[in-house]
Amino acid sequence: MAINTPTPHISAQRGDFAKTVLMPGDPLRAKFIAENFLENPRLVNNVRGIQGYTGTYKGVPVSVMASGMGMPSIGIYSYELFSAYDVENIIRVGSAGAMQSSIKIRDIVIGMGACTNSNYAIQYGLSGTFAPIASYKILEACVNTAKEMGVSYHVGNLLSSDTFYSDDNSSDWGKMGVMAVEMESAALYMNASRLGKNALAICTISDHLITKEETTSDERQSSFTEMMILALETAIKL
């Protein structure tokens, strides 16, 4: 579906976004990335406080804009970026809860796939179950960059959940090897698949479902810099 600019949720004009956009859930994390890592960032969207900036990183144009929380929210923003603003690549930079004892607080998880308990895929009218996966182009670039940086990372399945407070038993997903739970990646991957674009989720472990360790909201907003740099270094390779 063709969308005119500005869109219902983004006030920017066509050309205001770079071809690669980093998407944290938190608008303040978007602001932090823009102010601390981008050269000459300019605010291109602030509808509903969902801050979007475009600048350069090591001379390469890069944008960053918040997605909000949950699949309906990132579903809207990523669809509009892909469809109306000629964005080719979206890299989610978020937080996640570890579901494996081998994964530690502040480790980085790269989402090769995104299981989900959402009905987001029902809109496509498929006769089976769609498996949302990352774009290999970005996944390969990110893994190679992580190796170069020497960061502690894991690659595998995420669980994108529609609920934060839930009666579901998350350990059932963990026993299938799912690494961590978050709330956005599956919808992002489905939008990218449907529209012929590229997407990847890079998450920092902010809390642990097994050990019960957790980070604070301030730490999640501004201290996950290793993930931010990994995403930016990946972005300039695309």
Diameter of the chain measured on Cα atoms: 48
The per-residue pLDDT for 73 is 96
The per-residue pLDDT for 141 is 98
User: Which token pair is 93?
Assistant: 């930079």
In a domain, 127, yes or no: yes
In a domain, 169, yes or no: yes
In a domain, 102, yes or no: yes
Q: Helices (H), strands (E): how many in the chain?
A: 7, 9
Under a CB-based contact definition with an 8 Å cutoff, are residues 25 and 70 in contact? no
* Domain containing residue 38: CATH number: 3.40.50.1580
List per-residue pLDDT tens for the chain, 238 residues long: 668 788 889 988 899 999 999 999 999 999 999 999 999 999 999 989 899 999 999 999 999 999 999 999 999 999 999 999 999 999 999 999 999 999 999 999 999 999 999 999 999 999 999 999 999 999 999 999 999 999 989 999 999 999 888 776 656 899 999 999 999 999 999 999 999 999 999 999 999 988 998 888 777 666 689 999 999 999 999 9
> Which has the closest alpha carbon to 187: 177, 201, 173, 174?
201
21 three-class SS: strand
The per-residue pLDDT for 222 is 60
Domain that holds residue 40: 20-235
Active-site positions?
Answer: 207
The model carries a pTM of 0.94
In a domain, 11, yes or no: no
In a domain, 43, yes or no: yes
User: Which token pair is 184?
Assistant: 């956005």
In a domain, 62, yes or no: yes
Q: How many domains does the chain have?
A: 1
In a domain, 96, yes or no: yes
The per-residue pLDDT for 170 is 59
